[in-house]
Amino acid sequence: MASRKDILLEVKNLKTSFFTKKGVIKAVDDVSFTVKKGEVIGLVGESGSGKSVTSLSIMRLVPQPAGKIVSGEIIFNNENLLNKSETEMRELRGNNISMILQDPMVSLNQLLTVGYQIGETFKHHGKADGNLLDKCINVLKKVRVPSPETRVNNYPFQFSGGMCQRVLIGTGIANNPELLIADEPTTALDVTIQAQILQLMKDLRNETNASIILITHDLATIAQICTKVYVMYGGRIVEKAPIKDFYKNPQHPYSEGLIKSVPVLGKRVKRLFAIEGQPPNLLHPPPGCRFEPRCTKAKKVCSQKYPPEIELKKDHQVSCWLYG
């Protein structure tokens, strides 16, 4: 394990639930992981696996009033974020921890200029001295928006999707945060733009040395930028692995399925591999392993008890009865 000094974020036994009329949905159920300083983590999993709720929990912005962080600890720079007041959290957001949302077109307010929306990041953290406009232009320059001096006064609807995402990334890194959470930053964009945005994030990471949590269901994205992968399934992390191990040697049957379902260029297959069955209903999750109903290697114990996290080697853990 890394020394305490290197660790930026440590999530311990986080449980976040949604209290609905139908019952309690355990969207994030006992999730623990760490992010070291300067590390790029990939958080993968299918829709509804709890990736976004995990990141919103870190921001303490779980949708109200249904959503609630039930228990656990989120330790950021040796302080538990769950013990912070709303005012203290507000000061951290956009300053020390930042986040980029999925759909750039709706994440910007169409009624306010791009410059105003970037400027807010400075203004509300007491960093708006006389040259606020220059600062906003600089942000646009950093994310390579062409002719930033005029674009700063434009409205989001005058920007393309890729340009909007650049603006959002720029806003995210404006105050040089220590942690940047990117929630599927490229899913709403087309492929060529995706590559540009990823390159941009890589460059920016190298410049600022921020830690990044990249949330995605696109394994290709992870391969390009991450050093470590955390696989989520049904509100839990099922495997934590260094990027190379994950691709060459996935241990959890679900990770294996994910890797197998990626089409390979030049390899002819009759039918693309797909994991059978549906993701679990988190209102009534399976009693044992969440993946057991869809797992081809399931044993008897799998349907009875949730497997413990087993350390296979340094930095590679898996929660599966196959190894326990």
Partner 1 sequence: MKVFLLKRLGFAVFTMFFVVTIVFFLFRSGEADPAAIMLPPDATPRDMEILTKNFGLDKPLPIQYLNFLKNALRGDFGKSFRYNEPAAKVLFERFPASIQLGVTAFFFSAILGLSIGVLSAVRRDGWIDRFGRVLALGGMSIPAFWLGVMLMLLFSVNLGWLPVAGRGEGGLDTLRHMILPVICLSGYPIALITRISRSSMIDALKSDYVVMARIKGVPEPYVNIIHAFKNASITLITIMVPMATVMLLGSVVIETIFSWPGIGRLVVESTFARDYPVVQVFILLITFLITSAYIVADILYALVDQRIRFQ
Which residues lie near partner 1 (CB under 8 A)? 59, 61, 63, 65, 90-95, 98-99, 101-103, 106-112, 117, 120-121, 124-125, 155, 157-158, 168, 171
How far is CA 265 from its chain centroid?
27
Nearer to partner 1, 157 or 273 (CB): 157
Nearer to partner 1, 158 or 261 (CB): 158
Between vectors from CA 160 to CA 156 and to CA 162, what angle results, nearest 5°?
110
Task: Give me the residue label for tokens 């955390």.
Answer: 230
d(CA 154, CA 138): 15
d(CA 179, CA 215): 13
For residue 175, the minimal CB distance to partner 1 (Å) is 9
Between vectors from CA 21 to CA 16 and to CA 23, what angle results, nearest 5°?
50
d(CA 223, CA 42): 9
Nearer to partner 1, 35 or 318 (CB): 35
For residue 172, the minimal CB distance to partner 1 (Å) is 8
How far is CA 155 from its chain centroid?
27
Q: What SS3 class is residue 241?
A: strand
For residue 232, the minimal CB distance to partner 1 (Å) is 20
For residue 107, the minimal CB distance to partner 1 (Å) is 4
Nearer to partner 1, 125 or 217 (CB): 125
For residue 116, the minimal CB distance to partner 1 (Å) is 9
Nearer to partner 1, 121 or 255 (CB): 121
